A and B are shown apart, each in its own frame.
Chain A
Amino acid sequence: MEIIEKAKKEGRKQLSESESKQVLAAYKIPVTKEIPVTTQEELVKAAEAIGFPMVLKGNSPDIAHKTEKGMIRVDIRNLDEAKKAFDEIMAAMAGAKGDVLVQEMVKGQRELVVGLTRDPQFGPCVMFGLGGIFTEILRDVSFRVAPLEKRDALEMMQEIKGHKIMDAVRGMDAVDLDAMAEVLISVGQIGLDHDEVKEIDINPLIIRGNMGIAVDALVVLND
């Protein structure tokens, strides 16, 4: 894949958020609508296309841990807020190579994590579980070895302690399990198709309505 080739040639160890999402999109995994901008003029045009409320994020392959570095602003309601946020994020990026993503804000209370890891014994393995800030705390995840069959994807979703989150709980729609199964199968396929991909993190995958949307993504490359 071109994006991956390019990153490898540049000696990079990971893809930026937007690059990572392009890889996912190539495998039909739903991702946020977003437009990268580097100037205030571009910002204004992008804001019009994306609409409010929206999210601004610093986007650079060189910076991990965006939250800690103050590179995310959510729930931006108007252009003034957007311009202010843009300036702050550019300052926080402190000259690192990259741009700012103008991103649709996905509203949804349910956050999942979907990932890929290369196990030394089994090769590419897909992970599914409760995401967001509780990922590391709860560690409520399940694994399957790629390639996944639909049955594997459906079973792994039922295996986590918090599996009821996929049901129609608290007035929310039940998650479309077939569509989610496709996401899991596809993530595994990325690992099988691309030896250069070491790890994938989609966290959070936010459920909007009955569909999961990748709101943040990280593709880590092999050394």
Chain B
Amino acid sequence: MTPEERAQIDRMFEPRGLAVFGAVNSPGSFGQMNLMSQVRYGYRGRLYPVSPKGGELNGMKIYKSLEEIDGPVDLASISVPAAAVPDVLKACLARGVAGAQILTSGFAELDDEQGRSLQEEIIRISRQGLRIVGPNCFGLHSPKGGITLIPGSSFSRERGGVAFISQSGGVAADFGFEVMMAGLGISKIASFGNGVDLGAVELMEYLADDPDTEIIAAYLEGVRDGQRFIETVRRTTARKPVVIWKGGLTPLGGQAARSHTGSLGGEAQVWEGALSQAGAVMVQGLDEITDTLRGLAYLKRKGGRIALMGGGGAIGVFSCDLAYRYGLDMPIFSPETQAELQKSFPTPGNSVRNPLDTGTPILPLEKVRVLAEQVLTREPIDILVLILLIRPLEVEIRTFMEFAGLEPPPRGAYLESLLEVLAPLKKSSGKDMVMVFDNRAYRPEDAEAEGMVREMRNRYQSEGIPVFPSAERALRGIRNALRAWR
């Protein structure tokens, strides 16, 4: 990637001026929704709606063409019909716009003559010096630049280190929400659709050197140049973790192969091998990609020796099963440690080997502190995983206190006090901590706890402790993060 191209992409993500093309006067049009999404998201640069009819919209002047615009225009966001796109691009080129995102569909993805030739024309124009994202995409999102995707007007404005590139606009939007819900910060999102100019390879190369990006994730269905893609990923993973959700892993149908090898070389297996070779982690689905990012963002030691602690619901046995399934190392505590831990339990019988089964899910805070401290200071582990069952902690305890005629504690009181216990322990031990807030809100009234859980999760994460919704997801996230660091 040349410095000029890089500078152009920089301008696209942080545009001083953003020109929006495409029926901006018509309520419900893509162009208008695009425009209003930037306003709602809080874009601070100059917004220029463009339509040959001119006029005004919600107090904004509608320009008849780029020529009427005075200030710099760094990004054009285009939703005009496919056949009209080339002319808009030519105008952008003449004006010195850095790049255009073409949201319109109806190009090579249709697999018909007109679509293909329109796409070729776009490529020809782009080669003259205009960067293109798309066509057939949702375009760019950048908290720093204040621009977002059409569905992204309620995305967070917080900046973070995770970047996402996606062949699918829908997945890009889902990702933005999912990651926001998970309390992870985004640096940049690019929904790049057909990727005629800036595709997976170019964007990955750009993000590899982007100082605001620490982790790169992607949703891909296919790449133009597989070899070049693997090379680019390989160079990137030397510096930043790369997580790839590869979609469309169906066996190659109809390929007449004479040999075993030919018939066994299905897309899934080859992609798995290729991504492994390049050092990327392969995931499937929003849950897994989010969990992997959580692991990567928060586990500073990058070590895989795990201690697990929790109470209730056969946690001990279950977490052993999970650790085995995910190939995780749960070293057995020394006899001395086990003896110490056992002192906290009046009646023997708890498993304190690792996992540490505390029996009851509602453990007094002081006991949690003592147990966690013993494990963290005595044992050569990297990560302490604590599993909390929210329903007993929040819902049942209130019911029991009502039975006893006592005032229930304020919502989230336990979790808040627990954080006050755990955060200093994490700092002093220098080890990683992972929480599981397993909140199964069975009754509608229990859903009240959900808001509190999310808030608490964000508090824990601001102290560097990631929070997962289940033990399975936590251990899988840890396993995937370890794979990336291998």
Which residues of A are interface residues toward B (Cβ below 8 A)? 13-14, 64, 113, 115-117, 119-123, 125, 127, 129, 135-136, 139, 141-145, 152, 155-156, 159, 198-201, 203, 218, 220
Within the assembled complex, what's the spacing in Å between the Cα atoms of A121 and B201?
A: 14
CB-based nearest A residue for B263: A136
Chain B 253-293, CB-CB to A under 8 Å as 1, else 0, gives 00001111111110001101110110000000000000000
Q: Report the minimum CB–CB distance from A34 to chain B (whole Å).
A: 20
Q: Report the minimum CB–CB distance from B414 to chain A (whole Å).
A: 44
Contact A201 B223 (CB under 8 A): no
Q: Report the minimum CB–CB distance from A198 to chain B (whole Å).
A: 8
- Apart from A145-B270, A198-B262: 14 A-B pairs, beta carbons within 8 A: A13-B258, A115-B261, A115-B264, A123-B226, A127-B261, A129-B264, A141-B264, A144-B273, A145-B273, A145-B274, A199-B261, A199-B262, A201-B261, A220-B258
Is there a chain A Cβ closer than 8 Å to B227's Cβ?
yes
Scoring B230, B257, B260, B263 by chain A CB atoms within 10 A of each residue's CB, the highest score goes to B260
CB-based nearest A residue for B272: A143
Contact B258 A14 (CB under 8 A): yes
CB-based nearest A residue for B273: A143
Known: A125-B265, A143-B270, A152-B277. A199 touches B257 (CB 8 A): yes
Within the assembled complex, what's the spacing in Å between the Cα atoms of A173 and B199?
A: 49
- CB-defined contacts of A198 to chain B, threshold 8 Å: 262
CB-based nearest B residue for A200: B261
- CB-defined contacts of B264 to chain A, threshold 8 Å: 115, 117, 127, 129, 135-136, 139, 141
- Tally of chain B residues near chain A (CB < 8 A): 22
Contact B270 A115 (CB under 8 A): no
Contact A145 B261 (CB under 8 A): no
Contact B276 A64 (CB under 8 A): no
Q: Which of A144, A155, A203 contacts B260 (CB 8 A)?
A: A203
Contact A144 B261 (CB under 8 A): no
Within the assembled complex, what's the spacing in Å between the Cα atoms of A207 and B354?
A: 41
Q: Which of B222, B262, B273 contacts A121 (CB 8 A)?
A: B222
Q: Which of A143, A159, A220 contacts B265 (CB 8 A)?
A: A143
Question: In terms of DSSP, what is the predominant structure of the interface of chain A?
Answer: strand
Within the assembled complex, what's the spacing in Å between the Cα atoms of A120 and B270?
A: 11
Chain B 119-138, CB-CB to A under 8 Å as 1, else 0, gives 00000000000000000000
CB-based nearest B residue for A14: B258
Within the assembled complex, what's the spacing in Å between the Cα atoms of A121 and B227?
A: 7
Q: Report the minimum CB–CB distance from B231 to chain A (whole Å).
A: 10
Question: In terms of DSSP, what is the predominant structure of the interface of chain B?
Answer: helix
- 14 example contacts (A-B, Cβ-Cβ < 8 A) are as follows A113-B260, A117-B262, A121-B222, A125-B270, A129-B264, A135-B260, A141-B264, A141-B269, A143-B265, A145-B270, A145-B277, A156-B273, A199-B257, A218-B258
Within the assembled complex, what's the spacing in Å between the Cα atoms of A199 and B272?
A: 20
Which residues of B are interface residues toward A (Cβ below 8 A)? 222-223, 226-227, 230, 252, 257-265, 269-270, 272-274, 276-277
Known: A122-B230, A159-B276, A220-B258. A117 touches B265 (CB 8 A): yes
- CB-defined contacts of B260 to chain A, threshold 8 Å: 113, 115, 135-136, 201, 203
Within the assembled complex, what's the spacing in Å between the Cα atoms of A144 and B279?
A: 12
- CB-defined contacts of A123 to chain B, threshold 8 Å: 226-227
Scoring A64, A115, A119, A125 by chain B CB atoms within 10 A of each residue's CB, the highest score goes to A119
Known: A144-B273, A159-B276. A116 touches B230 (CB 8 A): no
- CB-defined contacts of A220 to chain B, threshold 8 Å: 258-259, 262
- CB-defined contacts of B270 to chain A, threshold 8 Å: 117, 119, 121-122, 125, 143, 145
CB-based nearest B residue for A220: B258
Q: Report the minimum CB–CB distance from A190 to chain B (whole Å).
A: 12
Contact B276 A116 (CB under 8 A): no
Q: Report the minimum CB–CB distance from B250 to chain A (whole Å).
A: 14
- CB-defined contacts of A120 to chain B, threshold 8 Å: 252
Scoring A198, A201, A218 by chain B CB atoms within 10 A of each residue's CB, the highest score goes to A201
Within the assembled complex, what's the spacing in Å between the Cα atoms of A220 and B256?
A: 12
- CB-defined contacts of B230 to chain A, threshold 8 Å: 122, 145
Q: Which of A14, A113, A142, A201 contacts B273 (CB 8 A)?
A: A142
- CB-defined contacts of B222 to chain A, threshold 8 Å: 121
Within the assembled complex, what's the spacing in Å between the Cα atoms of A127 and B269?
A: 10
Scoring A117, A123, A218 by chain B CB atoms within 10 A of each residue's CB, the highest score goes to A117
Within the assembled complex, what's the spacing in Å between the Cα atoms of A64 and B263?
A: 15
Within the assembled complex, what's the spacing in Å between the Cα atoms of A125 and B275?
A: 13
Q: Report the minimum CB–CB distance from B258 to chain A (whole Å).
A: 5
Within the assembled complex, what's the spacing in Å between the Cα atoms of A116 and B258?
A: 12
- CB-defined contacts of A135 to chain B, threshold 8 Å: 260, 264
CB-based nearest B residue for A119: B270
Q: Report the minimum CB–CB distance from B337 to chain A (whole Å).
A: 32
Contact B259 A201 (CB under 8 A): yes
Known: A141-B264, A141-B269. A115 touches B226 (CB 8 A): no
Contact A113 B261 (CB under 8 A): yes
Within the assembled complex, what's the spacing in Å between the Cα atoms of A198 and B258?
A: 10
Contact A122 B262 (CB under 8 A): no
- CB-defined contacts of B252 to chain A, threshold 8 Å: 120
Contact A200 B259 (CB under 8 A): yes
Within the assembled complex, what's the spacing in Å between the Cα atoms of A95 and B223?
A: 48
